Amino acid sequence: MDQPTLEMRPPLGAPNTSSAKRLQRGGYAAAVKHSARVRFFKKAIPIGAATAVILVLIIGIFDPFGRLRGLSLGPVSLSGTKITMAAPKLRGYRAGSRPYEMTAASASQDARKPNIVELNDITGKVTLENNGQAHIEATTGVYDSQTELLELAGRVNVRTDTGYSAHLTTASVDFKGGKVSSAEPVRVDIDGGSIKADKLDIDDNGKHIVFQGRVRAIMESDKARSNPPAPTND
């Protein structure tokens, strides 16, 4: 399976300081380039799989030709031109018989804008290739069927059972182009380190990941984690 490539880009016009040079010469750069360090992003940011399941949920709720198997809905209300469905829940299987479950507190659609679907309080879990699970949370989601874009906002968190997590304020998902981007600060936590950046771009269905802006990374070596400093007697 192809491993994703990783890039870290400084802000435009940022000075090439001596500290930045030392960081490039140090073990951090080598650790980032090592395939073992890059491989974690497949697990740390399974946003593509999770958002694809959200798309299936949206289509299932408002598909005029029939309801998806595994889809359950709560009460339906109509206010003016807007229809709202409470507590939609979708269970199913992705490729390879990997189960998923996605729920929302509510889903709504305005008859005057039939291409727009709004979701609130989205939660879900998706089984990954290693049989672990990715858990996703988002405060709101707006999907446009004409552009095939999903905008997640408010609080976008993705975490895995193995301890990897990604925290974003917003995320824009382009299903047609296989891209996920965030123009606001993002933090990724991994086993033995973390990365913070001003922006994030994921291309080619997760195979190419770019951190942009002020990128701050902390990576602990295996030796440092296995030999923590002794407590001091203050």
Tokens 């399976």, residue located: 1
Would you say residue 41 lies in a domain?
A: yes
What's the domain range around 130? Answer: 5-219
Domain count, the chain: 1
Tokens 């479950």, residue located: 101
Would you say residue 224 lies in a domain?
A: no
**8 A C-beta contact, residue 127 and residue 8:** no
Structure tokens at 213: 């802006």
- List pLDDT tens digits, range 47-86: 666 666 666 666 665 554 344 466 677 788 889 898 888 8
pLDDT at 215: 92
pLDDT at 177: 78
Would you say residue 10 lies in a domain?
A: yes
CATH of the domain at 137: 2.60.450.10
Q: Is 43 exposed, middle or buried (0-12, 13-18, 19+ CB in 10 A)?
A: buried
Would you say residue 38 lies in a domain?
A: yes
Tokens 């798309």, residue located: 55
Lowest mean pLDDT among 21-35, 133-147, 159-173: 21-35
Backbone conformation region of residue 178, classed left if phi is above 0, alpha if psi is from -120 to 50, else beta: left
Closest among 148, 138, 200 to 178, alpha carbons compared: 148
Q: What predicted TM-score, i.e. pTM, was given to this entire model?
A: 0.65
pLDDT at 1 over 50: no
CA 96 to chain centre: 21
Q: What percent of the chain has pLDDT over 90?
A: 12
Would you say residue 225 lies in a domain?
A: no
pLDDT at 112 over 60: yes
Would you say residue 61 lies in a domain?
A: yes
Would you say residue 162 lies in a domain?
A: yes
Would you say residue 102 lies in a domain?
A: yes
**8 A C-beta contact, residue 22 and residue 227:** no
